[in-house]
């Protein structure tokens, strides 16, 4: 931003310097010439007065012309030609000064019908003065442009530094740093933004505290109910019927996994930096195991394919919940077998910049897919085309994006959802930030 502001102001300064400097230089050039010619005209007028004073009552010079004053008024390097009426010649001529002048600057003056003055001087000194005047004007223009550049630098810094400071503060707010900042910059618009950020800090901090309190209360209630359910299942585990014992043990395993999932979700909601390198296939193994029975009951098959060594930088609980939403969506709204594939997408160079490698998790089924009307809004919260709540896919996308990944509908018929996960984090995980 500072560079753009500086370039804009410098462009205006240079344009003004050119627009004003060129006419000033031309005016200075003509001004020196005008002064020189005015001086020559003044000399000629004084010479004409001397000649007229020597004329008699008949308007002619009687005898020889006295050139003493004329020689005094003629420049040392100049040449004066005097034509005057005399008693012997109506157009007598007298030459005073240098016989030849190179590159002369000529001025003349008429003294009636039979007399005239012609003064020639070298133009070299005048040209020297003209170039000196041009140089002086150019120095003034350059000094003005230098002053404008200094003002541009100070103005750019005056504007860009507060903007960068406000941007950094907004970034800290996005990272969870809710400490107030009393600094103001003396710019009404930016100070207004700072005031709004202070208000937003207080509001966001209060909301997060209320949401965390609500999450803690809900998780406590869920764990209490799950504990009660597990106690009843413990009683069933000593039932004399082996089938009942088997089902009770399976149910207790499900309760234990649900309890662990609740704990991880609560922990993830309080800490945005828990993503680590996890084995994607291993994390999804539990999801496939949990959803295999519903698929078998529906006469369908749920398959997990992929390299067990593939790792991604993500939060395990968020990945499992997001893929579970996609698998549930395939069970309820899809048809045929459901396949969960894990593969590596190698980074390529595109548009001159390299792209990082990503782990892709694809969830597909063999159903009718997503209609063209529903596809653009399928991830909108609260939007559903099948009578559901419309929260599942929006929640799944939010969970994936929280770890820097993407969730997209890659194919409409049959439906194919793709989760893209980063393989490596460039920066270390940020520390947990509590509202202040």
The pLDDT tens digits of the residues spanning 190-249 come to: 788 888 888 888 887 787 778 777 777 777 788 788 888 888 888 888 888 888 888 888
Residue 1 has a pLDDT of: 62
pLDDT at 386: 58
Q: What is the DSSP letter of 33?
A: H
pLDDT of residue 432: 42
Structural domain span for residue 216: 182-270
pLDDT of residue 213: 78
Residue 230 lies in a domain: yes
Integer Cα distance of 101 and 122 in angstroms = 6
Is residue 371 located within the same domain as residue 284? yes
Please check whether residues 262 and 281 belong to one and the same domain. no
11 shares its domain with 105? yes
281 & 266 share domain: no
Q: Are residues 10 and 69 in the same domain?
A: yes
pLDDT score of 350: 53
**pTM exceeds cut of 0.85:** no
CA distance 32 to 29: 6
The answer to whether 318 and 402 have CB atoms below 8 angstroms apart is yes
Task: Return the H-helix or E-strand segment holding 322.
Answer: helix 316-333
Q: Report, as ranges of residue numbers, the positions in the chain whose pLDDT lies below 50.
A: 272-273, 349, 426-436
Integer Cα distance of 380 and 92 in angstroms: 109
Residue 338 lies in a domain: yes
What is the predicted pLDDT for the residue at 296?
92
Q: Residue 124 in contact with residue 78, Cβ under 8 Å?
A: no
Q: Is residue 155 part of a domain?
A: no
Q: Which pLDDT does position 129 carry in this prediction?
A: 93
């Amino acid at each position: 931003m500072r560079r753009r502001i500086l370039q804009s102001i410098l462009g205006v300064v240079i344009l003004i310097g050119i627009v004003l400097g060129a006419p000033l230089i031309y005016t200075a050039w003509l001004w020196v010439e005008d002064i020189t010619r005015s001086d020559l005209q003044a000399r000629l007028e004084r010479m004409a007065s001397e000649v007229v004073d020597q004329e008699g009552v008949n308007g002619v010079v009687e005898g020889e012309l006295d050139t003493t004053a004329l020689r005094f008024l003629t420049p040392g390097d100049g040449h004066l030609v005097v034509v005057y009426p005399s008693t012997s010649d109506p157009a007598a001529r007298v030459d005073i000064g240098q016989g030849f002048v190179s590159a002369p600057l000529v001025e003349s003056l008429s003294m009636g019908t039979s007399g005239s003055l012609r003064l020639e001087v070298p133009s070299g000194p005048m040209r020297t003065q003209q170039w000196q005047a041009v140089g002086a004007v150019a120095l003034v223009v350059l000094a003005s442009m230098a002053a404008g550049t200094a003002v541009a630098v100070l103005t750019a810094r005056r504007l860009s530094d507060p903007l960068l400071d406000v941007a950094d503060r907004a970034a800290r707010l996005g990272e969870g740093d809710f400490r107030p900042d009393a600094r103001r910059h003396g710019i009404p618009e930016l100070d207004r933004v700072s005031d709004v950020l202070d208000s937003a800090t207080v509001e966001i901090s209060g909301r997060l505290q209320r949401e965390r309190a609500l999450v803690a209360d809900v998780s406590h209630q869920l764990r209490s109910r799950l504990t009660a359910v597990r106690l009843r299942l413990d009683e069933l585990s000593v039932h004399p019927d082996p089938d009942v014992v088997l089902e009770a043990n399976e149910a207790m395993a499900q309760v234990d996994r649900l309890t662990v999932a609740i704990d991880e979700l609560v922990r993830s909601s309080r800490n945005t930096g828990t993503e680590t390198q996890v084995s994607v296939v291993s994390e999804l193994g539990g999801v496939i195991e949990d959803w295999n029975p519903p698929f078998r009951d529906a006469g369908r098959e749920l398959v997990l394919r992929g390299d067990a060594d593939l790792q991604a930088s993500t939060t395990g609980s968020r990945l499992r919940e997001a893929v579970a939403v996609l698998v549930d969506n395939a069970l309820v709204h899809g048809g045929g077998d459901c396949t969960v594939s894990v593969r590596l997408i190698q980074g390529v160079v595109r548009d001159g910049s390299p792209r990082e490698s990503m782990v892709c998790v694809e969830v597909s089924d063999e159903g009718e897919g997503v209609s063209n009307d529903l596809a653009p809004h399928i991830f909108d919260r609260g939007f559903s085309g099948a009578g559901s709540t419309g929260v599942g896919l929006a929640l799944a996308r939010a969970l994936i994006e929280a770890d820097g990944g993407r969730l997209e509908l890659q194919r409409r018929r049959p439906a194919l959802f793709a989760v893209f996960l980063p393989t490596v984090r460039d920066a270390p995980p940020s520390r947990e930030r509590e509202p202040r």
